[in-house]
Amino acid sequence: MLQFLILVPRTLATLSLLALTLSLGTVLDPVVAAQGPSGAARAAIPRTSDGRPNLQGIWQVRNTAAVDLLDHPATQGGRPGWSVVEGGTIPYQPWAAKKKAENYAARTTADPMATCFLPGVPRIMYLDHPFHIFQTRDAVAVTFEWSQVFRLIHTNGTKPVDGIEFWMGDSRGRWEGDTLVVNVTNHNDKTWFDRAGNFHSEQLKLEERFTLEDADTLRYEVTVEDQKVFTRPWKISMPLHRQKDTERILEYQCQAEASEANGAFERDPKTWFPGR
């Protein structure tokens, strides 16, 4: 257990999350070779002791979806990139397309993340920050470098709560063969999908699919449904890549960085990590 703990960011929030996930079930063996009728094509995928794909580890995107889900040129502070949306368009209703354009025009201040509000799901998954997945028999926990946000995905059959809206939604998962399928409901209407102003309402429903393509590539797919904003469901897809050059995620505190940048906060050498 000591060896496991030193791989986790040494922050109170993350250690509390670790205690929570451990209370839900014993952490599974880190790597067990794939066996059975799945065939040689899946043999390199790491598996847990009960045969599930082992998603544990540190992952990160290599795209610019957080800037704009669609094809986009370079902008100040944002690299150019290709669309991650199936079909290359987001099917807004007419009123919502107008609202999206207004969001884009005011994005430098209107983006909720510009003032350090939580990114929401799925945006948190493709920020340019790594995240760490932990896996147990009853839950999958994800800790993020960005402001120590975390997600707890229950996989033990429990149902979402009623009547409560969350910045990060309410995640309930199940296994379909080798794919972890996560339904995320109970969103608020205050988060965006990206910096370009793509948005949703409180009626947002997501179905995420996590599939290991090989030991170091995790396919992330999201089907988006919001009858208040879109004319039909639409889909996001991208690979996530295993990070092998670090043993744990570090810390990026959005509000602290903003306060330091505007002069409202000064580092205290007695408590501030000085670097290497």
Neighbours of 156 (CB within 10 A): 13
Tokens of 47: 């598996």
C-alpha to C-alpha distance for 61 and 243, rounded to whole angstroms: 10
Question: Which of 5-9, 25-29, 159-163, 164-168 is predicted with the least confidence, judged by mean pLDDT?
Answer: 5-9
Nearest in space to 49 (alpha carbons), one of 27, 69, 76, 75: 27
Residue 231 has pLDDT above 70, yes or no: yes
Mean pLDDT in residue range 245-266: 82
Does the pLDDT value for residue 154 go beyond 90? yes
Q: Is the pLDDT of residue 41 over 60?
A: no
Q: Cα separation of 70 and 130, whole Å?
A: 22
The rounded percent of the chain whose pLDDT value lies above 90 is: 70
The reported pLDDT for the residue numbered 275 is: 62
Q: Once rounded to an integer, what is the mean pLDDT over residues 6-25?
A: 44
Which of 12-26, 88-102, 146-160: highest mean pLDDT?
A: 88-102
What CATH code is assigned to 2-261? 2.40.128.20
Tell me the pTM.
0.82
Average pLDDT over all residues of the chain: 86
Q: Are 236 and 122 in contact (CB under 8 A)?
A: yes
Burial readout 203-212 (b: 16 or more C-beta within 10 A, e: otherwise):
ebbbebbbbb
Q: What is the pLDDT of residues 166-184, one digit of tens each?
A: 999 999 999 999 999 999 9
